[in-house]
Structure 1
Amino acid sequence: MTFYDRTEELDALDTAFESPDHDFYVVYGRRRVGKTELLKEFCTGRPHIYFLAAQEAEDRQREKFVEKVADYFDDRVPRIDGWDEALEYLGEKLATEQLIVAIDEFPYLVEENDSLPSYLQSFVDEQLQETDSMLVLCGSSVSTMESEVLGHESPLYGRRTGQIDVQPFSFQQAQDVIHYDIEDAIRSFAVTGGTPMYLTLFHYDQPLKKNIQTHILSPTAVLYNEPEFLLRTELRNPARYISILEAIATGHTTPNVISGATGIDVGPLSKYLQTLRRLRLIDREVPVTASAKQSKRSRYQVADEFLRFWFRFVEPNRSSIEEAPDVVYDGTIEPNLPDHVATTFEDVCKEVVWEAIRRGQLESYSEVGRWWYGEDEIDIVGLGPDADRILFAECKWTNEPVGQSLVSQLHEKAERVRWGPETRDEEFALFSKSGFVDGLAEDVGDNWSLFDLSELEAVL
């Protein structure tokens, strides 16, 4: 498989390994996000021991680890009775040679022995610090990595010299993988999201419809049951979580509405929502002008484009897909795909705003997000760092070019956004899949920026 991007992450690991003294790095992130490929790419061409933990008995886990160490040093496998002895053996070997020790899926080891972080603390303090070697702990269970490795209560707290929270690709990064024109690239990204495994499954010499039918709507395809598999690896009883994700993906975004759609009372629902947020499966959003801690106007959204697609189009239609997948695509997915893509388009436009800020094409803004109040909603609002400048933007994924009516609507809604002084500077932007009516650029003021797809692509 071709390795894409991750330049910043590799640079951080490279710099750490090449620097004098020891290093202890923590690499974590959601499943399928590319952590293992990142580790393997980093280790290539360098002396290393890579150990992939498995869900099996502690004794067998430890035996395999010691065998890996002995094999690297061409040593006879010693008799080891505990993790303290295994790590002591590793420390003795590291005293003779600088190398990387990468332990992948570390949470599987902790599941079998929750004292392992304490043993690792002793190893780091007493042996690793005396070497130039590097220890990397990697894991997909974000909650375990944050509590057992990074958290204040962990014996390992304060020992790490760096950490990498591996994120899905942004649309800008994903363009290296998606070999479609800009319009189809956005449509495709709305299906796969930025998870590298999902991105690389699609064949971009084929139409998007064919990729969806082959890789998602086929009962034998990897992605057909993927979300269910992910939930079952994280949760013992995923049924209610599946109901909540489906409700959010189909437009039920506030706690009361989610409760009504799922039949789960608001009280218990809050715990389910917290768990889904902890697993990074949903995000909580408040209006950009509001306080995230104090605002009661929260909305929830599925955090991953593929999961949002799957829970909107696949999960509710599983029986029909088993019988007639083409009918599901033609009758359900294709007519509703533009509405699904429109949400993704807003996020892509937000990327464009940040990139335009970095390039100086837009003024500087410290916060960028959605705004809503009552019936009013603005796709993108940017808040200046000094509370005297604000950006208003709308994003239209429609087949008609944008005209003066949207300009007027945005002006009217902007007046109802209470933020900053009355003398604030206001900047406006419009993003449109189908461009703009003739003459609109000349009709709007100098404080307006218009982005069609070609201009969007140029910025990214």
Structure 2
Amino acid sequence: MTFYDRTDELAALETAFESHSNEFYVVYGRRRVGKTELLKEFCADRPHIYFLAAQEAESRQRAKFVEQIADHFNDRVPRIDGWDDAFAYLGEKIAGERLIITIDEFPYLVDENDSLPSYVQSFVDERLSDTESMLVLCGSSISTMESEVLGHESPLYGRRTGQIDLQPFSFTQSRNVIEYDLVDAIRSYAVTGGSPMYLTLFEYSQDLASNIQAKILSPTAVLYNEPEFLLRTELRSPARYMSILEAIATGHTTPNEIAGATGIDSGPLSKYLQTLRRLRLIERTVPVTASAKQSKRSRYGVADEFLRFWFRFVEPNRSSIEEAPNIVYDGTIEPNLPDHVAVTFEDVCREAVWEAIRRGDLGPYSEVGHWWYGEDEIDIVGLSPNDERVLLAECKWTTDPVGHGLAESLREKAERVQWGPATRDEEFALFSKSGFVDGLAADLGDDWSLFGPEELDQLLSSTGSIGA
């Protein structure tokens, strides 16, 4: 896989290693976000021991760990009876050394021995502290990393010198990989999301339809069963979780709607939703003007674009895909893809809003999100409490240019957004895939900003680089 440098993350790791003091870093994040590739890139030209844990018996895990240490130092493999001996051996060998010790998929080790964090604590306190070496613990099980490594109850709590919660790429970052023009890049991102593995599987010399059919709809393709595989690695019985994800992906976004679509009672459903949130597979949102803790107007969304695509189009049609994938694409996916992409377009426009704020093209806002109340919805609302100013914006993924009707509708809905004083300042914006009707910009006041494809392209062209 090609590595696209994650500049900020690499810089943080490099700064820590170059500090000439001992360091203990924690790197974690959802599966497929590129943690292993990041660490391999970091270690590549530096002295290091890299150990990738596997799901196997504790004795075999420990033996491999010790073998890795001995191999690095050209040493005879010693007899080791427990993890305390293993880390004592590591401590002896790194005395006077300056190297990186990376333990990848650390949760696999904890699964076999939940006392392991205590052994690591002793190593950090008694061995690592006297060196200029760096220990990195990495893992995909977010719940294990947050509880057993970062949590208050962990023996390792307070000992880390830094951490990286590695996120999927934003759309702006993903454009370093997606070799389409802006509109097709947004369509493609609505299918792959920002996971490096999925982004780099697509062949951008081919059109999007070809990629979907070859990389997702083929029963032999890696992505055909990918979500099911991911869930099975995290959950013992994923069936109900899959039904919840399918319900959310197909438009059932409130707890009552999800319960109705899945037949799961509200009590158990709440626990399932909490688990999916903890795994970062879904996200809960409330109107941007409401309190996240107190509001009962919550909605749920699938947190990953690829999973949302898969649970909307692939999972409900598995039998048909096995027999006639082309018919599924032509009859189900292609006609409904614009509606699917429209949701992604709103997220992309929020990225554009933040970039416009950074550049000064829009006023400064501290919160940006979605707003709804009853039948009214506004795609993007930005709040600036200190200045008593509000931004109100709509995003349209349509084939026709946006006209005066949308602007008038937005002004009307703005009056029903209960936030700030009656004398608040209001700023408006429209985002359109297909531009705007002639004369619209001239007819609207200075408090309006219009972002068509050209303006979006300028805002969303990444100048940084990313890592797969």
Match of 2:95 in 1: 95
CA distances 1:20-55 after superposition (whole Å, capped 9, x unpaired): 210000000000110000000000100000000000
Match of 2:434 in 1: 434
CA distances 1:140-169 after superposition (whole Å, capped 9, x unpaired): 000000000000000000000000000000
Q: Secondary structure at the match of 2:436?
A: coil
Match of 1:354 in 2: 354
- Does structure 1 retain, via aligned residues, the 8 Å contact 2:379–2:394? yes
What TM-score does the superposition give when structure 2 sets the normalisation length? 0.98
Q: Secondary structure at the match of 1:394?
A: strand
Match of 1:283 in 2: 283
Match of 1:221 in 2: 221
Deviation, 1:387, is 5.4
Letter in 1 for 2:344: T
Match of 2:311 in 1: 311
> How do 1:305-454 residues align onto structure 2 when only pairs under 5 Å count?
305-386=305-386, 388-454=388-454
Deviation, 1:264, is 0.4
Rounded to whole Å, the distance in 1 between the matches of 2:234 and 2:395 is 35
> How do 1:194-273 residues align onto structure 2 when only pairs under 5 Å count?
194-273=194-273
Deviation, 1:5, is 3.5
Rounded to whole Å, the distance in 2 between the matches of 1:2 and 1:355 is 27
Q: Secondary structure at the match of 2:449?
A: strand
Deviation, 1:354, is 0.3
- Does structure 2 retain, via aligned residues, the 8 Å contact 1:394–1:431? yes
Rounded to whole Å, the distance in 2 between the matches of 1:301 and 1:13 is 33
> How do 1:149-168 residues align onto structure 2 when only pairs under 5 Å count?
149-168=149-168
- Does structure 1 retain, via aligned residues, the 8 Å contact 2:282–2:301? yes
What TM-score does the superposition give when structure 1 sets the normalisation length? 1.00
Rounded to whole Å, the distance in 1 between the matches of 2:314 and 2:55 is 30
Q: Secondary structure at the match of 2:430?
A: strand
Letter in 2 for 1:191: V
Identity in percent: 81
Deviation, 1:388, is 0.3
> How do 1:114-133 residues align onto structure 2 when only pairs under 5 Å count?
114-133=114-133
Deviation, 1:93, is 1.0
Letter in 1 for 2:439: G
- Does structure 2 retain, via aligned residues, the 8 Å contact 1:5–1:173? no
Match of 1:22 in 2: 22
Letter in 1 for 2:296: K
Rounded to whole Å, the distance in 2 between the matches of 1:420 and 1:298 is 22
Aligned residues: 460
Rounded to whole Å, the distance in 2 between the matches of 1:169 and 1:129 is 35
Deviation, 1:267, is 1.1
Rounded to whole Å, the distance in 1 between the matches of 2:289 and 2:436 is 29
Rounded to whole Å, the distance in 2 between the matches of 1:405 and 1:32 is 43
Deviation, 1:437, is 0.2
Letter in 1 for 2:18: E
Q: Secondary structure at the match of 2:394?
A: strand
> How do 1:97-112 residues align onto structure 2 when only pairs under 5 Å count?
97-112=97-112
Instruction: Report which stretch shifted further, 323-332 or 386-395.
Output: 386-395
Q: Secondary structure at the match of 1:257?
A: helix
CA distances 1:353-406 after superposition (whole Å, capped 9, x unpaired): 000101111100000000000000000000014150000000000001000000
Rounded to whole Å, the distance in 1 between the matches of 2:143 and 2:158 is 18
Deviation, 1:96, is 2.6
Structure 1 stretches of 4+ moved >3 Å: none
Letter in 2 for 1:251: G
Q: Secondary structure at the match of 1:392?
A: strand
Deviation, 1:272, is 0.3
Q: Secondary structure at the match of 1:236?
A: coil
Match of 2:50 in 1: 50
CA distances 1:7-29 after superposition (whole Å, capped 9, x unpaired): 11000000000002100000000
Rounded to whole Å, the distance in 1 between the matches of 2:303 and 2:92 is 44
- Does structure 1 retain, via aligned residues, the 8 Å contact 2:254–2:299? yes
Rounded to whole Å, the distance in 2 between the matches of 1:96 and 1:14 is 20
CA distances 1:392-423 after superposition (whole Å, capped 9, x unpaired): 00000000100000000000000000001111
Letter in 2 for 1:193: G
CA distances 1:79-105 after superposition (whole Å, capped 9, x unpaired): 000001100110111113100000000
Letter in 1 for 2:134: M
Match of 2:466 in 1: none
